[in-house]
Amino acid sequence: MNKLHKDVSCSQCGVRSHSLFAEFNDKEVDVLSEHKSCSYYKKKQAVFLEGSNPRGVFCINKGKVKVFTMGDEGKEQIIHLAKEGEIIGYRSMFSGQPYQVSAETLEECNICFISKENFTSMIDSNSILRNGILSELSKELNERSKTITQMSQKSVRDRLAYSLILLKDIYQDEDINLSREDLANLIGTATETLIRLIKQFKEEGFIEIKGRKIKIVSLSALKTIAGK
């Protein structure tokens, strides 16, 4: 990716078709495009911070972002991994609260910004977008219910299997490329415990390790461990 970032027009944006803006007509896309601004983010750069006030939403054009909260003892809990096409940062916007989570890039990213005013006016005038957002929020709520249940009822080993399946979806054909610490913070365990379990999975032949990168060899085995 070029460090000298060029604005991408929304009409040219390859990931728009997978986003909440997929159903926009040409006119709406143009309006959107006029009102957004794009930025290049380097790896590990903050997108927004827990406690600050939302000024708009972020649309990921390229790259992956982790969304996390900071626990009382300063340990991160990763709540969500966002990839190309996803919009982040709108939840707290609707509730009028400061951000309850932080977002940080996991790799180099292009991320567009749409101001609160523009976004809310789009919602008011566009029932498809509105319904898309309601649907999205509802699905996320369901996902988080599931995560809560997992956290409280499943062993770390089971959760690792489950998370690897999730990550497969996010990284597609690429190898999974997260720091051990991030992976541990996603699963909700200590880094050392995670490392031991990764080793187990490798020895059992479910995954391959190349440095920090993880390649899933037997998705089906992982699914068996992860449960439903």
Contacted entry of DNA, a copy of itself, none for residue 116, CB cut-off 5 to 8 Å set by kind: none
| Chain residues 93-112 in contact with DNA, contact rule CB under 7 A | none
The residue (of 37 and 155) whose beta carbon lies closer to DNA is: 155
Which residues of this chain interact with a copy of itself, rule CB under 8 A? Answer: 69, 71-73, 75, 77, 79, 90-97, 100-101, 124, 127, 130-131, 133-142, 144-154, 187-189, 227-228
Residue 160 CA to residue 150 CA, distance in Å, equals: 11
Task: Pick the closer one to a copy of itself by CB: 39 or 118.
Answer: 118
Residue 18 in the binding site for DNA (CB under 7 A): no
Q: Helices 156-171 and 219-226 meet at what angle, rounded to 10?
A: 140
5: partner contacted, choices a copy of itself, DNA, none (Cβ within 5-8 A by kind): none
- Alpha-carbon distance of 118 to 138, in angstroms, equals 23
* Residue 192 interaction partner, one of a copy of itself, DNA, none, beta carbon < 5-8 Å per kind: DNA
Out of 179, 208, 224, 227, the only residue in the binding site for DNA (CB under 7 A) is 179
Residue 75 CB contacts under 8 Å (≥ 6 apart), including other chains: 185
- Could you give the CA distance from residue 46 to residue 38 in angstroms, rounded to a whole number? 15
Q: Which residues pair with 102 in a beta bridge?
A: 68
- Contact with DNA (CB under 7 A): which of 29, 166, 190, 221? 190
The token pair at 99 is 């951000």
Binding partner of 195, given a copy of itself, DNA, none, CB within 5-8 angstroms per partner class: DNA
Q: Select the residue interacting with DNA from 125, 199, 204, 224 (CB under 7 A).
A: 199
Nearer Cβ to a copy of itself, position 38 or 79?
79
CB atoms within 10 A of CB 119: 24
3-class SS letters over 141-201: HHHHHHHHHHHHHCCHHHHHHHHHHHHHHHHCCCCECCCHHHHHHHHCCCHHHHHHHHHHH
Contacting residues toward DNA, per CB under 7 A: 155-157, 179-181, 188-193, 195-196, 198-199, 209, 211-212
